[in-house]
Amino acid sequence: MQRLDPVKFLGYWFFMNFFRFLFLTALITVFPMMVFSAEPAPPTQVVQNLHASLLGVMKEAKKIGYQGRYKQLAPVIKETFYLPFIARIVVGRYWRTFDDEQKAKFLEIFEKLSIATYAHRFDGYSGEQFRLVSEKESRRGRIIVNTLLIKPDGEKIELDYTLKRHKHRWRVINVTANGVSDLSLKRSDYTTFLKRNGFEALINKLDEKICSYSGKESSP
């Protein structure tokens, strides 16, 4: 058996470990840069992306129909809005009384209703425009993006979006139209209904609303 030359062995060992050291050093240096350099889209961009998607759907509304609008808007709404957070807020103290199955059931139908509402409302295009007005910091590190929806007749609707940072992304948690908070309205309606009718009745009511939007007997 041929004996291994110790000098060659040491040279080989040094060569392999030296390049391993260089590789690990480069990885340690570059990887954090890759992770932390990817800044989340700013709040204004999140809102503008939503508006662009809504306009796109509005312009194709009649062609693709309700189901087409629902399908196109579903990923946009899920990406833009912090739906689990909103769902907890709108039911207030009742959230703590839900068991795990009820929480999952409510989150599922609330998500469907949120998408269905946008698919139902943005059902045509007549020259509407969205305009970005301003951005300002609110309490607890939240950001408010002020915008306008300008109708063809010149009417302007103030749409103010409140965004919260979650998992390195900005997500919408409330929309205020002409000073009226959608989150506050929903919280009042949902908690009042829960108090009077209970959980299952609320689920049935939300499902009926989804069906009325879709014009079908079952929700999407």
Enclosing H/E stretch for 157? strand 156-166
Domain check: are 32 and 69 in the same one?
no
Evaluate whether residue 97 is within a structural domain.
yes
Is the pLDDT reported for residue 218 higher than 50? no
Of all residues in the chain, the percent with pLDDT exceeding 70 is 80
For 152-193, the pLDDT digits (tens) are 999 999 999 999 999 889 999 999 999 999 999 999 999 999
Q: Does any domain span residue 220?
A: no
For residue range 99-148, what is the model confidence (pLDDT) as tens digits?
Answer: 999 999 999 999 999 999 999 999 999 999 999 999 999 988 999 999 99
One domain, residues 142 and 69: yes
Assess whether 101 and 196 both reside in one domain.
yes
In sequence order, which ranges of 37-178 are alpha helices (DSSP H)? 43-59, 61-80, 83-90, 100-121
Is residue 69 assigned to a domain? yes
Q: Structural domain of residue 18, as residue ranges? A: 1-38
In a shared domain, residues 23 and 89: no
User: Is residue 182 classed exposed, middle or buried when 0-12, 13-18 and 19+ CB atoms within 10 A define those classes?
Assistant: middle
- Residue 22 clears pLDDT 50, i.e. is over it: no
- How many domains does the chain divide into? 2
Same domain assignment for residues 57 and 135:
yes
Residues 182, 97 within the same domain: yes
